[in-house]
Amino acid sequence: MMDRRRFLRTACQACAALAVVPAVASLESCSSGKPLAVDNGTLNIPLSDLSKSGTTVVRAQGLGAKLMVVRRDDGSYTALLLNCPHKNGPVKEKGGVLTCDWHGSTFDSEGKVTKGPSKQDLKRYPVTVEGDQLRVAVG
Ligand code: FES
């Protein structure tokens, strides 16, 4: 049985792992740099195109900002819009933290605001895995 001290240490390590944004890869449709197509409000991304141990930045039609797909250790995914809710500044990964270029708001890998001035979390899109595709409901 795990004692309380060991449990807390393990839990804190899990929290720290969630808070830090893993290494970022970039995914665009071929070398032309065109955004990925959105079909009936759904963005389909082959799982094989996503980083297995980190995050992948995706440009998709009609979103107006890049999308970050985060793969967790348990194999689940989160899709975050990299657009700051404060005044629509671009959000980028800097040293493992999602940071807004304009006024410095920061967000964790779940999109939760960790430092203002933004008072809102990043927009998250529902995701499902179907076969070998990640489906992101962006519409
Ligand atoms: S627009 Fe992002 S902190 Fe102001």
Q: Does 117 fall in a domain?
A: yes
Q: Does 98 fall in a domain?
A: yes
Q: Does 47 fall in a domain?
A: yes
Q: What is the pLDDT of residue 94?
A: 85
Pocket test for ligand 1, best of 82, 83, 100 (most atoms within 8 A of CB): 100
Determine contact, residues 58/51, Cβ cutoff 8 Å: no
- 75 Cβ contact list (under 8 Å, min separation 6): none
Q: Does 12 fall in a domain?
A: no
Counting the structural domains of the chain, the total is 1
Q: Does 2 fall in a domain?
A: no
Establish whether residue 100 lines the binding site of ligand 1, counting it when its CB lies within 6 angstroms of any ligand atom. yes
CATH of the domain at 61: 2.102.10.10
CA distance 40 to 126: 14
Domain that holds residue 58: 21-137
The residue whose CA has the least distance to atom 3 of ligand 1 is: 103
Q: What is the pLDDT of residue 131?
A: 94
What residues of the chain score a pLDDT lower than 70? 1-33, 53
Strands, DSSP E only, in the chain? 24-27, 38-39, 42-46, 55-58, 67-71, 77-81, 91-94, 97-100, 106-107, 113-115, 124-125, 127-130, 133-137
Q: What is the pLDDT of residue 20?
A: 57
Q: Does 4 fall in a domain?
A: no
